[in-house]
Structure 1
Amino acid sequence: MKINRTTERSVKILELVAKANDGIDMDEICEKLVIPRTSCYDILVTLVHMGMLEVSTGAKKNYKIGLNAYRIGMSYTNNRNISEIIDPALKELSKELKKTCFFGVLEGTKIVYISKFEPENPIITTATIGTRNPVYSTSLGKAILSTMSDEQIREITKDIEFKQATRFTLKSVDELIENINVVRSRGFALDEREVEEHMECVGVPVFNEKRECIGAISASSLYKKDEDYVALGNTLKERAFKISKSLGYMP
């Protein structure tokens, strides 16, 4: 297979510029990619002309990703079904953790389970695809709420009757907001035996290219006193970040 050198260099330049949040000048591009200045200059001029790069003038010309490159990149996300990205990642996560993993979205004051994957020897859970559970007692719900302001949370939960599914279920919106503050600080939510007394779940929000929370992923299993839920939460944070990036999210 014959590779066109100019095209290859153009793509490598775009990749390099995309990683430089504050932009990058031509000298640094030439040095890092080992490209002759004359060849690099011609490529940069063309990419700027095509809207793939933007250039700011100063002591040195500084290059950043252009609007047209952003539009082309977003078309990848727009043309893919979200489930095509989330389902394989969730399936792999379930196999890795040996826990039942879910993807859920917020619908009114309920969490709706959209995807579910189980390990080889699953612990039976009552939640199935299509099941609805209260937003205040699920790790999925708390993860999603953690991306909102306290005022938004109060608005969503203003008509909720906090029912005690177990002795651990939260009893009021004030208790919920206090819990959400902890979720925000550590980056993951816990359903601490609040839906089913024998089950503990960890949840993390998922974002799209507009930096909007579109739902959350979670891992569920039997409650164990010696389980390291912080480590589990951190693993889910890493996986949720990868999923979000695949959906076009840029922090």
Structure 2
Amino acid sequence: MKNIVYLFLFAVTFSRCSQAPVIDVADVRFKDSIILADGNKLLGNICFGVDQDEFYDQKTLFLEQQHDSIYGYYIHDIIPAYTREHRLYAVTFVCSIYRDYKPEEWPFRDFCLKKFGKEKPHEINHWNVGDRNISVIREMRKRGFHYALRCLHENSIIDPATEEVHFTIDQNEKFNYYCLYIESDSMKTRDRRQEQEYYDTFRREDEQRKKALEIHTGESKKMTCRNCKSDHQKRTTFHILMD
């Protein structure tokens, strides 16, 4: 009987060990080297934690250095996301239009595999490198300002008679874009916590204001009732004296 119990425990232990995720040591070391090399860099020269003016300068330099592309994919727009303290915590690189590729193709995947190593287990097109979360996603968007200027330049027609410029693009048209999204997990988490704390503080203060208003209203009603009662007593006394 004891032998059967030992065999059962061994089987359970072996089963749990076999289900444990396999750690790729080489990939872990590769990601660690990226973390040390990049520091607080988001991508290229763009850094986490900068304000709006600094980001604009970094964005301009990034487009110049990368020649408006990432790994051969043209950048339509670069969209920042800021914390409540106006610090950059995420960027969306809007790039290729979905209809230009087959459904199974994902632009940037090759770039991310080369740049960041293997994807997260069981999550295709998602990477976690230190504090950075990286994803390749699809989103419906209008043309970005940077790309719209290029389209206006390429699709404009000059009337030779009047020398007026006519545009042939719909600026409100939306497209299904491939996007490269990179965020700082720690900055996002801290910002969400601060947002929740702000909401909780506002809710408590609002409840206190309501209670104070209710108390004030109740005291006003009591005062009104006392005044009404006093006034009624005065009128009753007056009528008695008159009689």
TM value normalised by structure 1: 0.23
Q: Give the helix-richer structure, 1 or 2.
A: 2
